[in-house]
A and B are shown apart, each in its own frame.
Chain A
Amino acid sequence: NAGVTQTPKFRILKIGQSMTLQCTQDMNHNYMYWYRQDPGMGLKLIYYSVGAGITDKGEVPNGYNVSRSTTEDFPLRLELAAPSQTSVYFCASSRTSGRSTGELFFGEGSRLTVL
């Protein structure tokens, strides 16, 4: 039972490079999220999706893009990496309906360093 799978786990980028963080879930959850976590700052929502073909910005979307072509996959794209994007990124998913929407299942995280 894989749950939420993120790749890569670690990555070092140079300023200006681009990359995609992959996220896939096998729980048939409609809701998916990308968060970044910085020390002492908690979790900041970057983008989220309520279903295939639907995405929306969170608190800190600048410098990122997402797509949701299938229920399972929700990749996060960094187009021009900047040092401010050094962080740990978590993908998460949740059930669609009612009260369970707030119960998130997280991936293992991707630690990104931009130098």
Chain B
Amino acid sequence: AQSVSQHNHHVILSEAASLELGCNYSYGGTVNLFWYVQYPGQHLQLLLKYFSGDPLVKGIKGFEAEFIKSKFSFNLRKPSVQWSDTAEYFCAVDLGAGNNRKLIWGLGTSLAVNP
């Protein structure tokens, strides 16, 4: 069955540390990939997306993600986190086509950044 795995459920970092959150999916066809962020008490909002082209995509607030097709991965990175990056991060994969199209969500990674 198609699935999205986020390997880290809880991550705690100090400010200025580097961040990498893993996301892997199981599907052999064409995919569109997304990272969403949910700040405490708020709704989800799009952080970045990959549809095609350069596999290294840049999003808001200094985040980037790299699509590695051979590894079915779309890991999220940030070189230096800030306290304001404390949030929950969700990876989502849009796969299939037409009536078989679906959006699969990971369970999320909770990031806490200590000042």
CB distance from B109 to the nearest CB of A (A): 10
B43 touches A103 (CB 8 A): no
The range of chain B's interface size is: 20 to 34
Q: Does A109 contact B (CB under 8 A)?
A: yes
Whether A42 is near chain B, meaning CB under 8 Å from some CB there, is yes
Near A by CB (< 8 A), chain B positions 81-111 give 90, 92-94, 101, 103, 105-108
Chain B positions 19 through 32: 1 when the CB is less than 8 Å from some CB of chain A, otherwise 0? 00000000000001
Contact: B92 with A102, CB < 8 Å? yes
Interface bits B49-82 vs A (CB < 8 Å: 1, else 0): 1011000000000000000000000000000000
What residue in chain B is nearest A58 (Cβ atoms)?
B102
Do B34 and A106 have beta carbons less than 8 Å apart?
no
Residues of B within 8 A of A28 (CB): none
How far is it, in angstroms, between the C-alpha of A48 and the C-alpha of B66 when the chains are bound?
A: 30
- Count contacts between A and B, CB distance < 8 Å: 45
Report B63 CB to chain A, min CB distance, Å: 16
The interface bits of chain A over 78-115 (1 if a CB of B lies within 8 angstroms of the residue's CB, else 0) are 00000000000010100000010111101111000000
Q: Report chain A residues within 8 Å CB of B46.
A: 103-104
Known: A45-B103, A104-B36. 6 other contacts (CB 8 A): A42-B107, A43-B105, A92-B44, A101-B101, A103-B34, A109-B43
Chain A residues packing against B (C-beta within 8 Å): 40-43, 45, 90, 92, 99, 101-104, 106-109
Q: Which of B43, B92, B105 has the most CB of A within 10 A?
A: B43
Whether, in the assembled complex, B45 has its beta carbon less than 8 Å from a beta carbon of chain A, the answer is yes
A sample of 20 cross-chain residue pairs with beta-carbon separation below 8 angstroms, ordered by A number, consists of A40-B9, A40-B107, A42-B105, A42-B106, A42-B107, A43-B44, A45-B103, A90-B44, A92-B44, A99-B32, A99-B94, A101-B101, A102-B34, A102-B92, A102-B93, A102-B103, A103-B46, A103-B49, A104-B44, A109-B43
Grouping DSSP codes into helix (H, G, I), strand (E, B) and loop, the A interface class, with mixed when no group exceeds half, is mixed
Q: Which of B42, B51, B105 contacts A99 (CB 8 A)?
A: B51
